[in-house]
Structure 1
Amino acid sequence: MTITDGNFVVTDVNGNILFKFLSLHGRRVLVDGAGNPIVTLKLKQMSLHDRCQVFKGDSTDASDLLFSVRRPSMFQLKLKIDVFLANNTKEEVCDFTVKQSWLGRSCVIYAGESSTIVAQMHNKDTVESTLMGKDKFKVTVYPNIDYAFIVALFMILDAIEYTGGGE
């Protein structure tokens, strides 16, 4: 995954583009390598918790909601977000948890509140990242986990951390 000026490009180990993260008409959209919309992110800034809703394709219709994300506490030393699948309407227990390292150099996604890891991301320090401002990350996604879901979570984490979560 490469980040340059807020633009994300996700490639496989051979350099083939898997996903791009675009801002289109005031919306943030994750598209596949051919430009087809996978999910649309709708970010909201609330008084105590940043919140994001993720919808199927280029929709923002409630019937197309896939999952939502919120920051459990506004005051955190290490950024943590809770993920709730669309059918988890009570949001009493999260379905996934994303925890970022102290300096934001890595993060881990867990199943619920357990210690079971489903994906990890680590910053790769390269000459290109230092000289050209292109941050590169190595992303590991464990078996039976959707890549687009994981990429969307990383995009949300970045949006909450660097933009305060709001549009």
Structure 2
Amino acid sequence: MMMAGSSYSPLSDVVAIVGPQFCAPNPLNLYITEKTWNTTGGDYTVTDTNGNMVFKFKGKMFSLRNNRVLLDAARNPLVTMQRKIGSTHGRWKAYRGDSTDDKDLLFSAKLSSHFQLKRVLDVFLAANTREDICDFKIKESYFERSCTIYKANSTVIVAQMSRKYTWKNILHRKETFEVTIYPNVDYAFIVALIVILVEISRD
């Protein structure tokens, strides 16, 4: 998947947030499918182009903190994402494994502003405590049909997402997002960002 008007800018450095094992040397396409009607809420499955499961997200519909947990194919917890209660900018925090302790913080994401024609999220890595400049930026298209993830405030694209609309998905009450992750970029990190974007869109 390559969106119109986009350019390919491979990164010279490996961007490993969750872990270097999730950084592929070539572009990678993944598919995030959400069951929009389920008993637990926030359930997503991530598959590759062959239909093999790569990750799974689990959530709790009535959880006070609105947690989402990213699991690998063996159901080991990789990242716990937590919506910050009372945040005016829809801030989410992501922690390593099943922790929610600040010492295990990986990154946080929040809306740049509430007054936006297109939704924009700023992403800050744990070491960026001042948050003067974001480490990554997510820009959503009009009508929420696609988004592009950039390195900081640059024009360097690290990943792109588009929503897939099919009759099969509508009949089975599912929603699917096709994600292209560029080389040397942590794809576990990217799919976590996409799920946060979807959750913030619904908030």
Normalising by structure 2, what TM-score?
A: 0.76
Consecutive unaligned residues in structure 2, runs of 5 or more: 1-31, 37-41
Residues 50 and 74 of structure 1 are in contact (CA less than 8 Å); yes or no, is this contact kept in structure 2?
Answer: no
1:75: Cα distance to partner?
2.0
**1:1-167 alignment to 2 at 5 Å?**
1-5=32-36, 6-23=42-59, 26=63, 27-46=67-86, 48-162=88-202, 164=203
2:25 alignment partner in structure 1: none
Q: Which amino acid aligns with 1:139?
A: V
Out of 70-79 and 108-117, give the one that drifted further: 70-79
C-alpha root-mean-square deviation of aligned residues, in Å?
Answer: 1.4
Decide which structure has greater strand share.
Answer: 1
For residues 85-129 of structure 1, give each alpha carbon's deviation from its aligned partner in whole angstroms, at most 9, with x where no partner exists: 000000000000001111111111000011111000111222212
What stretches of structure 1 move > 6 A for 4+ residues in a row? none
Q: Bigger relative contact order, structure 1 or 2, given CA contacts below 8 A and separation 6+?
A: 2
Consecutive unaligned residues in structure 1, runs of 5 or more: none
Q: Alignment identity in percent?
A: 52
Aligned equivalents of 1:47, 1:31: Cα separation in 2: 26
Aligned equivalents of 2:35, 2:168: Cα separation in 1: 11
- Equivalenced residue count is 163
For residues 33-92 of structure 1, give each alpha carbon's deviation from its aligned partner in whole angstroms, at most 9, with x where no partner exists: 111101001102445311111000000011100011111111222111000000000000
Normalising by structure 1, what TM-score?
A: 0.92
Aligned equivalents of 2:103, 2:149: Cα separation in 1: 26
Task: Note closer, same or farther for the CA distance 1:140–1:79 as it changes in structure 2 (3 Å cut).
Answer: same
